[in-house]
């Protein structure tokens, strides 16, 4: 027995010596690491004091490593919702599964929607040629408010730039996509508006969807108008902030909501977070205009930052087209983030956000549509700079525009089969069908209670028949077209907007029209409205 | 400078029969003086024809020389960048400006990118650096973070003014918390001189930096007023269409004269032009799909169109390294997202099995649809998606496939039609092909293509089509012209070439569209677009494609042979070279910029890449010449030695050998993998 043991131990002799040797190697190695003595001493003393603690710490360390090694994409597998299947079952499930088609084919109505989109043959402008009929029309669609489309100075500058810079910038702003002309445009815009700095994005629509989440993060508070445009809705959604809504263009309602938030915060003793008011200068959905001085007053009173979308109003109102800040004589620097469109106001392509130096700088790293997209083609940037230059030096453009707007509105405002919700100075205005049997505007059943600020839907949403009104309005559009005036319904992403906008005809007046043309067009539109809407009585 | 007449030579490089007074020259200087002399003669004659018949070869070398060498007289020249190192002989006529699109007549320096049919796609192996590199990298970050916090701490007490925007003040919460902005201030700030460098001029083969300096540790920069011409291996100018001269630019100029610069409106409300329909048709034809839809911004193509495809109850499976725009779009859509390991088909299949069998979380209802989104060519990795395997999986698991070809379209495949062309698969087997025009086509914006049903649905549902401004006419023209020149046009020759008027008569012969990947129909282009013959015939486009592949493969394999760790596919024009240590990134950038031939590079680090694998990313272009790639290799070799970056354990060649056997290197069989 003992001999057997002796032989076993003799057999294991090399193993033992190997173990001992490797132990010393490891120990030496460990000792050589700087600071190892401290760890060793710590382990020794803690083990001496409380052997249980060693076990606990070991378990903790293993747990920490295990957690770190867990793949994030596999989070579901261990959830209690996970059902174990055998390979065979999985195969069956895979075979059984039939996905919905990626896209449904269009309904006849949607097909009509697409077919009625006007297409021009040749240049855009006040008097373009339609591609399908070859007819020249007076164009009251689009966003050529200032009439800069087709401006010869801009064309020449653009060609000059093309011959120096080529067309594309071939890179995002961070990687050699920032050219001197981009910096010039940013400076021009900041100078024009009177802010410290500005930052230029390469698409107007994506600008505000990117500006909002660059500043507002989870836990921050956004207070927004119920009537904001689609891009703002998306920006708010992606920011994951806490959102409160106030009644459309109702600053009293805004104050109520702000009061409510403040009360709630005091009650909860919540920490101070970033707070933003998000609204539009002239609303894309109905052309109403916000009372900027009052809004600024409220923002200072409640210590909110203001994100103002001037995509429609920049280049459309004010003595030289600087937008709402010029119209109301409010320093633009009081608007924390002033977002505008280079595409609408300056007849180029792109958007911008003006504000303090830090606001612009912050977006250069955090504005996703800025960072991850190629910068705008230099020639478009120069065209926009030239646009600023022209607006600055030619106040007559805006006065002509206002005169034209007044002319058209004076004809249409008197019609009683329609209602126009838009501000009288807005060059883009909407025409709603006035309901056939006006529902009595009772002092609503809710007794004037405010809407729930957590929901974008107002307490008493206006009722309207989308399909019917769209059809009527399209008839008006078609009728006007036969008389050589191109107008269009406001196109909407029905079903994707958070609140459905009332169907409308959107009319865009341009400074490029003569008085005569404006009068003619207004009368044609009026006749078409009367003809179509009058019929149904 | 807009006055230079468009050069009428029919191909980029062409033997010229007429003898010239200029003999072969040995040096750039003599070449230059000869050009000047010839130029003076031409001016003395006083004939600067504005239009020349397209087929005429009568233009003397002088006209083209005047065009092909840019002389602005204000930059500090680095000769090799502005003047070809091998001056052209009298036999050669180039139509491009050397500093925009390099002169390279050696037909050996061409290659074709195509996946060998039937061969399985080799998995991409990422080589790990030695442990000490990893260790020092982590240590560097720890030191950076510790010092950053230390400085933050001391600043807060000793210089609170500087922190004003980071702490609550007057009842306002800070616009960014000091924690959120820590990375930007303390890590990125140290190397801010490598980012957002202002430039001027064409982002072509070379680019002019507006030199700047910082006197306060990168907080602010002031221009020094100097301009430096550098070799540009950074712009996404794969096919070299970033040009201020040439057929595309001429077409764009004509377009601006006719259309102005803006479409003024959204696509559905008065911003649609005939050019949009023409470009959409051409794009669909180019990528081999039924229809296509344009969007005026590349980022927005993903961010506003993905939400129109999927929504609640749908699942998006996304490669973990997909671009930010895809993530933005998916987040807006409200669909569930799962990610799989980059290009790992095994992981993808496991995930597919899991998600289909489990169904929607909690309810276990089956998914409405599953959309797999991958990039054709990954912009930070240079890896290509494993399209054949994905299509195999697609048959079994019935998901829909969305391939983002932002970087691959135009750059890959024997016909430049992207990954499907590269792998030789039918593009219609992919549900949605998305791509951008910013890169290979030198334009801006993006497209989405697919079956007519899908594209029509997107016309109705996508955000940008309804609410965003339409693509502008000059951009559309650049897209049409560059794309047509890659495809070639049939019938190749128009009946009239006068530029001012609309072509009077086209041959009324019936035009049948060629099968994919065929040429574009002449009738699908705007009638006024008068492309030079080399572009109509498609010879120029083909030449660009083949130059790009040669350059990409040469640089990739050259860097490998020098001993660098490079990621990605041999044929990828994006070549990431791994640097690891954060401190070396800015050094690499600075050393390259200060090299005898200044070179600008892009360095990327966390968060665009994983923490340890900081890298420099080369973007090769068809506009580079073999000598340019030599220059990049030489500079990299030098910098690599200084910074100790050569950690690859493959076979190494000395620099001279690489440069002398470039053709051999490029023609080597693609290694199945190391």
Q: Judge whether residue B499 has pLDDT over 50.
A: no
Does residue B105 have a pLDDT over 90? Answer: no
With CA atoms as reference, the chain B residue closest to A163 would be B244
Residue A254 domain flag: yes
CATH number at residue A239: 3.40.640.10
Nearest CA in chain A to B247: A166
Which residues from chain A sit within 8 angstroms of residue B201, using beta carbons? 164-165, 179
- Residue B502 has a pLDDT of 44
Per residue in A288-339, pLDDT (tens digit) is 999 999 999 999 999 999 999 999 999 999 999 999 999 999 999 999 999 9
Check residue B494 and give its pLDDT: 53
| CATH for B343 | 3.40.640.10
Residue B70: band (very low, low, confident or very high) from pLDDT cuts 50, 70, 90: low
B473 and B388 together in one domain: yes
CA distance A232 to A223: 12
Choose, out of B209, B229, B270, the residue to mutate when testing the contact with A (most A CBs < 10 Å).
B270
> What does DSSP assign to residue A56?
H
Contact B274 A113 (CB under 8 A): no
What are the tens digits of pLDDT across the range A463-500? 888 888 899 999 999 999 999 999 999 999 988 888 88
A301, A426: one domain: no
Whole-number Å distance between alpha carbons of B328 and B404: 14
Residue-level length of chain A: 537
- Is A268 found in the same domain as A120? no
Residue B104 lies in a domain: no
Q: Are residues A119 and B272, on separate chains, in Cβ contact within 8 Å? A: yes
Per-residue confidence (pLDDT) for residue B9, from 0 to 100: 41
Is residue B53 a contact partner of residue B530, using CB atoms and an 8 Å limit? no
The number of beta carbons lying within 10 Å of the beta carbon of residue B116 is 10
Residue B668 maps to a domain? yes
From chain A, the residues in CB contact with B357 under 8 A are 83, 85, 89-90, 93-94
Contacts with A186 (C-beta within 8 Å, 6 or more apart), sequence order: A197, A198, A199, A200, A352, A360
Domain boundary pick from A378, A393, A408: A393
Same domain, B570 and B478: no
B367 neighbourhood in chain A, CB within 8 Å: 97, 99
Asked whether residue A207 falls in the same domain as residue A327, the answer is yes
Across the interface, of A93, A204, A488, the residue whose CB is closest to B469 is A204
Confidence band for B7, pLDDT divided at 50, 70 and 90:
very low
Residue A33 placed within a domain: no
pLDDT digits (tens, 9 = 90+) for B197-212: 999 999 999 999 999 9
Residues A488 and A380 both lie in one domain: no
- Taking alpha carbons only, the member of A126, A123, A124 closest to residue A512 is A126
Q: Does A309 reside within a domain?
A: yes
Same-domain check for residues A527 and A463: yes
Residue B96 has a pLDDT of: 83
Question: Mean of the pLDDT values across residues B517-543?
Answer: 89
> CA triplet B377, B380, B385: central angle to 5 degrees?
25
- Both A236 and A350 in one domain: the answer is yes
Binary contact (A123, B249; C-beta < 8 A): no
Name chain B contacts of A217, Cβ cutoff 8 Å. Answer: 180
What was the pLDDT predicted at B47? 43
Q: What is the pLDDT of residue A436?
A: 63
Residues A429 and A473 in one domain: yes
In a domain, residue A92? The reply is no
Tell me: do A157 and A194 sit in the same domain: yes
Across the interface, of B203, B362, B467, the residue whose CB is closest to A169 is B203
Range of the domain at B44: 1-95
**Residue A5, in any domain of the structure:** no
Domain carrying residue A414: 108-148+396-439+449-535
Instruction: With a cut of 80, say whether residue A533 has pLDDT above it.
Output: yes
**CATH value at residue A477:** 3.90.1150.10
The C-alpha angle A181, A182, A185, rounded to 5 degrees, equals 85
Specify whether B630 is located in the same domain as B554.
yes
| Of residues B269, B340, B475, nearest to A488 (C-beta) | B269
In a domain, A23, yes or no: no
State whether B270 and B387 are in the same domain: yes
* B448 contacts in chain A (CB < 8 Å): none
Phi and psi torsions of A175, nearest 5°: -115, 75
- Segment A382-417, tens digit of pLDDT: 999 999 999 999 999 999 999 999 999 999 998 888
Domain count, chain A: 2
Compute how many other C-beta atoms are within 10 angstroms of the C-beta atom of residue A134: 8
Residue A65, burial from CB neighbour count under 10 angstroms (0-12, 13-18, 19+):
exposed
- Read off the CATH number of the domain in which B593 is found: 3.90.1150.10
Q: How far is CA A76 from CA A5, A360, B289, B349, B361, in A?
A: 53, 40, 37, 16, 8
pLDDT value at B508 more than 80: no
Answer yes or no: do B26 and B140 share one domain: no
Q: Are residues A94 and B357, on separate chains, in Cβ contact within 8 Å?
A: yes
Residue A388: alpha-carbon gap to chain centroid: 24
Query: Do B300 and A369 count as a contact with CB atoms less than 8 A apart?
Result: yes
pLDDT at B112 exceeding the cut of 90? no
Split at pLDDT 50, 70, 90, the class of B64 is: very low
pLDDT band of B179, cuts 50, 70, 90: confident
What does the pLDDT read at residue A443? Answer: 47
Contact yes or no for A205 and B467 at CB 8 A: yes
CA A217-A221-A226 angle, to 5 degrees, is 115
The pair of three-digit structure tokens given for residue B541, joined into one six-digit string? 């486009």
Decide if B208 touches A, using CB distance below 8 A: no
Same domain, B227 and B274: no
Which residues in A lie closer than 8 A to residue B458 (C-beta atoms)?
103
CB contact under 8 A, B248 and A167: yes
Contact A237/B332, CB-based, under 8 Å?
Answer: yes
Using pLDDT thresholds of 50, 70 and 90, give the confidence band for residue B19. very low
Q: Which residue of A has its CA nearest to B320?
A: A73
What single string gives the DSSP state of each residue in B545-597? HHHHHHHHHHHHHHHHHHT--B-S-TT-SEEEEE--SHHHHHHHHHHHHTSSS
Residue A174: its chain B contacts at CB < 8 A?
A: 195-196
Test the A interface: residue of B184, B232, B262, B446 with most A CBs within 10 Å: B262
Q: For the ranges A427-431, A521-525, B20-24, which has the lowest average pLDDT?
A: B20-24
Contact criterion met (CB < 8 Å) for A373 and B469: no
Judgement on whether residues A405 and A509 belong to the same structural domain of the protein: yes
CB B64 within 8 A of CB B16: no
Q: For residue B385, tell me if it sits in a domain.
A: yes
Residues of B in contact with A77 (CB under 8 A): 354
Distance between B242 CA and the closest CA of chain A, angstroms: 6
Considering only the beta carbons, identify the residue of B320, B325, B471 that sits closest to A372.
B325
Question: What is the per-residue pLDDT for B370?
Answer: 94
Asked if B454 lies within 8 A of A368 by C-beta distance, the reply is no
Residue B512 has pLDDT above 80, yes or no: no
Q: How confident is the model at residue A77 (pLDDT cuts 50, 70, 90)?
A: low
Same domain as A352, residue A228: yes
Apex CA B361: angle with CA B358 and CA B367, to 5°?
65
Tell me how many helices (H) and strands (E) chain B has: 21, 17
The alpha-carbon gap from B668 to the nearest alpha carbon of chain A, in Å, equals: 31
Q: What is the pLDDT of residue B218?
A: 85
The rounded mean pLDDT for chain A is: 88
Are B264 and A171 inside 8 Å of each other by CB? no
| Helix A515-535 with A395-412: angle, nearest 10 deg | 30
Give me the pLDDT at residue B552, please: 94
B66 shares a domain with B119: no
Q: Is residue B511 part of a domain?
A: no
Cα–Cα distance for residue pair B475/A377, rounded to 1 Å: 8
CB proximity under 8 Å: B 532-561 to A? none
In this complex, is the C-beta atom of B239 within 8 Å of any C-beta atom belonging to chain A?
no
In a domain, B196, yes or no: no
Q: CA–CA distance from A350 to each of A311, A342, A347, B358, B403 (Å)?
A: 10, 5, 9, 44, 26
Report helix, strand and coil shares of chain A as percent, to nearest 5. 50, 10, 40
Is the pLDDT assigned to residue A74 strictly greater than 70? no
> Residue range B560-567: average pLDDT?
92
- Of the candidates A393, A410, A427, which is a domain's last residue? A393
Token duo for residue B27: 């040096």
Q: How much is the pLDDT for A4? A: 58
B264 within a domain of the structure (yes/no): yes
B474/B259 Cα distance (integer angstroms) = 8
Chains A & B: contacts with CB separation below 8 Å: 393
A270 versus B541: the higher-pLDDT residue is B541
* Residues A411 and A350 reside in one and the same domain: no
CA distance B403 to B374: 5
B331 lies within 8 A of chain A by CB: yes
Q: Is B657 within a domain?
A: yes
Element (H, E) at B534: helix B533-537
A163-196 pLDDT, tens per residue? 999 999 989 999 999 999 999 999 999 999 999 9
**A163 and B253 in contact by Cβ < 8 A?**
yes
Q: Where does the pLDDT of residue B503 fall: very low under 50, low under 70, confident under 90, or very high at 90 and above?
A: very low
**Which pLDDT does position A221 carry in this prediction?**
93
Q: Which whole number is the average pLDDT over B299-324?
A: 92
Q: Is B169 on the interface with A (CB under 8 A)?
A: no
Residues 6 or more apart whose CB falls under 8 angstroms from that of B594 comprise none
Do B144 and B172 belong to one domain? yes
* Per-residue confidence band for A71, with pLDDT thresholds at 50, 70 and 90: low
Residues in chain A with CB shorter than 8 Å from the CB of B467 are: 205, 229-231, 493
Euclidean distance between CA atoms B648 and B381, whole angstroms: 17
User: Distance from B157 to chain A by nearest Cα, in Å?
Assistant: 22
Q: What is the pLDDT of residue B673?
A: 46
Domain assignment present for A135: yes
Task: Name beta bridge partners: B291.
Answer: B450
Are the beta carbons of B171 and A238 separated by less than 8 Å? no
Model confidence at B1: pLDDT above 60: no
CA A97/CA B356 separation, integer angstroms: 7
Identify the CA nearest to B195 among candidates A171, A90, A531, A156: A171
Structure tokens at B326: 């895809």
Collect all residues of chain B within an 8 Å Cβ-Cβ radius of residue A490.
Answer: 269
B316 and B435 fall within a common domain: yes
DSSP string, B24-80: --SSHHHHHHHHHHHHHHHHHHT---S---TT-----HHHHHHHHS---S-SBP-HH
Q: Are A284 and A312 in contact (CB under 8 A)?
A: yes
A252 and A385 both lie in a single domain = yes
B179 and B231 assigned to the same domain = no
Residue B570 resides in a domain: yes
Region B112-138: what's the mean pLDDT? 85
Candidates A83, A148, A364; nearest CB to B358: A83
Terminal-residue alpha carbon distance, chain A: 118
| Bond from prior residue into A468 cis (ω within 30 degrees of 0) | no
Interhelix angle A51-69/A36-49, nearest 10 degrees: 130
Structure confidence at residue B40 (pLDDT) = 55
- Residue B281 and residue B422 in one domain: yes
**Angstrom distance (rounded) from CA B431 to CA B451:** 7
d(CA B330, CA B324): 10
* pLDDT tens digits, B589-637: 999 999 999 999 999 988 788 888 899 999 999 999 999 999 999 999 9
Inter-axis angle of helices B28-45 and B61-68, to 10 degrees? 120
Task: Please name every residue paired with B578 in a beta bridge, in sequence order, or none if there are none.
Answer: B615
Tell whether B481 and B349 lie within a shared domain. Answer: yes
Q: How far is A488 from chain B (nearest CA, A)?
A: 6
Q: What is the pLDDT of residue A59?
A: 86
How far the first Cα of chain B sits from its last, in Å, is 51
> What are the helix (H) ranges across A136-244?
152-165, 180-193, 204-215, 230-239
Would you say residue A299 lies in a domain?
Answer: yes
Q: Which of B72, B95, B118 is the last residue before a domain boundary?
A: B95
pLDDT the model gives residue B12: 43
Q: Which of residues 120-159 of B touch A (CB under 8 A)?
A: none
Q: What percent of chain B has pLDDT over 70?
A: 84
Q: Which residues of A touch B257 (CB under 8 A)?
A: 155, 159
Higher confidence at residue A446 or residue B623? Answer: B623
**Count of domains in chain B?**
4
B346 vs A: CB within 8 A: no
């Amino acid at each position: 027995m003992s001999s057997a043991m002796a032989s076993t131990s003799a057999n294991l002799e090399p193993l033992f010596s190997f173990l001992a040797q490797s132990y010393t190697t490891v120990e030496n190695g460990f000792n050589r690491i700087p600071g190892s003595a401290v760890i060793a001493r710590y382990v020794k003393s803690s083990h001496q004091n409380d052997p249980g603690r060693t076990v606990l710490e070991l378990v903790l360390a293993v747990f920490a490593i295990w957690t770190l090694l867990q793949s994030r994409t596999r989070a579901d597998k261990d959830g209690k919702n996970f059902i174990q299947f055998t390979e065979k079952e999985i195969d069956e499930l895979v075979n059984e599964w039939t996905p919905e088609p990626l896209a449904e084919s269009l309904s006849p109505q949607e097909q009509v929607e697409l077919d009625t989109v006007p297409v021009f043959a040749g240049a855009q402008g006040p008097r373009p040629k339609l591609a399908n009929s070859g007819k020249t029309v007076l164009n009251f669609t689009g966003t050529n408010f200032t009439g800069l489309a087709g401006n010869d100075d801009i064309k020449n500058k653009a060609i000059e730039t093309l011959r120096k810079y080529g067309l594309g910038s071939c890179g995002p702003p961070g990687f050699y996509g920032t050219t001197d002309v981009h910096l010039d445009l940013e400076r021009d815009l900041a100078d024009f508006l009177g802010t410290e700095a500005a930052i230029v994005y390469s698409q107007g629509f994506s600008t505000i969807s990117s500006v909002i989440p660059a500043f507002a993060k989870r836990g921050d508070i956004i207070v927004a108008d119920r009537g904001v445009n689609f891009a703002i809705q998306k920006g708010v959604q992606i920011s994951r902030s806490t959102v409160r809504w106030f009644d459309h263009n109702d600053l009293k309602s805004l104050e109520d909501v702000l009061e409510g938030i403040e009360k709630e915060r005091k009650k909860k003793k919540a920490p101070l977070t970033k707070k933003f008011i998000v609204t539009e200068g002239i609303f894309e959905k109905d052309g109403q205009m916000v009372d900027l001085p009052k809004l600024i007053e409220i923002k200072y009173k409640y210590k909110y930052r203001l994100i103002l979308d001037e995509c429609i109003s920049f280049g459309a109102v004010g003595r030289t087209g600087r937008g709402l800040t010029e119209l109301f004589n409010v320093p633009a620097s009081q608007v924390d983030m002033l977002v505008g469109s280079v595409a609408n106001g300056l007849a180029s392509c792109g958007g911008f956000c003006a504000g303090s130096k830090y606001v612009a700088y912050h977006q250069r790293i955090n504005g996703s549509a800025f960072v991850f997209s190629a910068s705008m083609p230099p020639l478009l940037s120069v065209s926009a700079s030239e646009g600023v230059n022209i607006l600055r030096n030619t106040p007559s453009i805006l006065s002509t525009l206002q005169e034209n707007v007044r002319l058209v509105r004076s004809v249409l405002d008197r019609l009683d089969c329609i209602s126009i919700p838009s501000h009288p100075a807005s060059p883009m205005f909407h025409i709603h069908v006035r309901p056939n049997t006006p529902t009595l505007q009772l002092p609503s059943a809710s007794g004037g209670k405010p809407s729930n600020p957590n929901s974008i839907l107002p307490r008493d949403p206006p009722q309207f028949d989308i399909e019917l009104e769209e059809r009527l309005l399209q008839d008006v559009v078609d009728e006007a077209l036969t008389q050589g005036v191109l107008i269009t319904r406001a196109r909407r992403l029905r079903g994707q907007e958070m609140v459905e906008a009332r169907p409308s005809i959107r009319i865009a007046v341009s400074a490029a029209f003569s008085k005569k043309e404006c009068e003619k067009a207004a009368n044609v539109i009026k006749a078409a409205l009367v003809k179509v809407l009058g019929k149904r009585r | 400078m807009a006055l230079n007449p468009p050069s009428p030579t029919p191909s980029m490089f062409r033997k010229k029969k007429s003898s010239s007074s200029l003999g072969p020259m040995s040096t750039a200087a003599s070449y230059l003086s000869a050009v000047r002399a010839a130029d003076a003669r031409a001016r003395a004659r006083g004939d600067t024809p504005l239009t020349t018949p397209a087929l005429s070869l009568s233009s003397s070398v002088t006209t083209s020389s005047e065009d092909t060498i840019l002389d602005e007289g204000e930059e500090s020249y680095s000769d090799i960048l502005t003047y070809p190192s091998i001056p052209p002989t009298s036999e050669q006529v180039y139509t491009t400006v050397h500093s925009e699109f390099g002169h390279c007549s050696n037909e050996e320096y061409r290659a074709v990118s195509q996946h060998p049919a039937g061969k399985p796609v080799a998995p991409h192996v990422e080589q790990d650096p030695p442990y000490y590199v990893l260790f020092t990298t982590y240590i560097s970050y720890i030191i950076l973070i510790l010092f950053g916090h230390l400085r933050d701490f001391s600043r807060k007490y000793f210089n609170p003014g500087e922190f004003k925007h980071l702490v609550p003040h007057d009842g306002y919460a800070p616009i960014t918390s000091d924690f959120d902005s820590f990375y930007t201030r303390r890590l990125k700030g140290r190397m801010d001189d490598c980012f957002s460098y202002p430039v001027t001029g064409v982002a072509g083969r070379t680019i002019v930096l507006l030199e700047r300096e910082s006197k306060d540790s990168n907080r602010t920069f002031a221009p020094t007023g100097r301009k430096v011409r550098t070799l540009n291996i950074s712009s996404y100018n794969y096919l070299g269409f970033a040009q201020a001269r040439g057929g595309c630019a001429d077409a764009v100029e004509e377009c601006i004269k006719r259309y102005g610069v803006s479409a003024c409106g959204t696509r559905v409300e008065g911003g649609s032009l005939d050019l949009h329909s023409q470009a959409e048709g051409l794009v669909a034809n180019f990528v081999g799909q039924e229809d296509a839809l344009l969007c005026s911004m590349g980022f927005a193509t993903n961010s506003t169109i993905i939400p129109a495809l999927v929504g609640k109850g749908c699942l998006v499976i996304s490669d973990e390294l997909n671009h930010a725009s895809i993530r933005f779009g998916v987040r807006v859509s409200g669909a569930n997202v799962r990610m799989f390991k980059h290009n790992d088909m095994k992981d993808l299949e496991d995930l597919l099995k899991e998600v289909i069998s489990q169904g929607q979380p909690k309810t276990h209802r089956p998914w409405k649809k599953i959309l797999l989104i991958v990039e054709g060519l990954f912009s930070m990795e240079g890896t290509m998606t494993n399209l054949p395997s994905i299509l195999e999986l697609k048959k079994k698991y019935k998901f829909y496939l969305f391939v983002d070809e932002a970087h691959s379209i135009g750059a890959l495949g024997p016909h430049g039609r992207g990954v499907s062309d590269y792998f030789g698969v039918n593009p219609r087997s992919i549900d949605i092909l998305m791509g951008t025009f910013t890169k290979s086509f030198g334009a801006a914006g993006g497209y989405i293509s697919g079956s007519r049903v899908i594209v029509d649905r997107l016309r109705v549902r996508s955000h940008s089509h309804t609410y965003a401004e339409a693509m502008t006419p000059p951009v559309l023209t650049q897209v049409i012209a560059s794309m047509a020149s890659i495809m070639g046009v049939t019938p190749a020759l128009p009946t009239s070439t006068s530029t001012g008027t609309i072509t009077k008569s086209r041959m009324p012969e019936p035009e049948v569209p060629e099968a994919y990947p065929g040429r574009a129909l002449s009738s699908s282009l705007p009638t006024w677009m008068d492309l030079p013959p080399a572009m109509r015939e498609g010879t120029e486009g083909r030449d660009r494609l083949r130059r790009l592949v040669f350059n990409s493969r040469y640089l990739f394999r050259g860097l490998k042979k020098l001993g660098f760790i490079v990621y990605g596919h041999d044929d990828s024009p994006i070549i990431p070279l791994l640097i690891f240590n954060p401190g070396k990134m800015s050094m690499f950038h600075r050393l390259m910029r200060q090299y005898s031939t200044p070179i600008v590079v892009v360095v990327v680090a966390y968060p665009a890449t994983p923490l340890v694998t900081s890298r420099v990313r080369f973007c090769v272009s068809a506009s580079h010449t073999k000598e340019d790639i030599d220059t990049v290799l030489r500079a990299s070799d030098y910098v690599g030695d200084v910074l100790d970056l050569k950690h690859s354990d493959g076979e190494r060649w000395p620099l001279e050998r690489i440069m002398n056997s470039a053709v051999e290197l490029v023609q080597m069989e693609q290694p199945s993998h190391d």
